[in-house]
Amino acid sequence: MGFARTAQARELAYTHGNNMEAIITALDNLALQEQLKKENSEQKQLLEQQTMLIDCVVCMEMPKNILLLPCTHLCICSACSANLMGQEPQLCPICRKPVEEAKEVKIS
C-alpha cells in the first residue's frame, strides 16, 4: 500500500474508530472513484479521437463531406469547400496537391 493509501487508511480509522468494515467500505469506495475517473478520462480521449475522424480539418466544426480529386482526401465540409474552390491556388489541406474537383459524399 502506497503512502497516500496508508494515510487514507489512517484517516479513515480515526474517523470511523476501529470499525474495520466501515474502513474497508470507504477504501473500496475510494478505489471505485479512482477507477471511474480513469474510465471517464479514457472515454473523453476516445470521443476526441472520434471527433477528429469526423470533423472538417479546416473549420473543425462541420462533418467532412467533400472528396477532393485527384488526391482523394475526404477532409473538408461543404462550406470550406466553397471557400477552397473560390481561391487560387486550390490546394488540398492535407497533401497540398492541386485540387481539380470537389465531390460531395453522402455518408449514411
pLDDT (tens, 9 = 90+) of the chain, 108 residues, equals 456 666 776 676 667 666 777 777 877 888 888 888 888 888 888 887 777 778 999 999 999 999 999 999 999 999 999 999 999 999 999 999 999 999 999 977
- Residue 91 forms beta bridges with which residues? 98
Give the side-chain half-sphere CA count within 13 A for 80: 21
Q: Which amino acid is residue 12, in one-letter code?
A: L
Q: pTM for the whole thing? A: 0.55
Element at 34 (helix H, strand E): helix 20-54
Closest CA to 87 of 99, 74, 75, 72: 99
**What grid cell was written down for 69?**
480529386
Q: What DSSP character marks residue 14? A: H
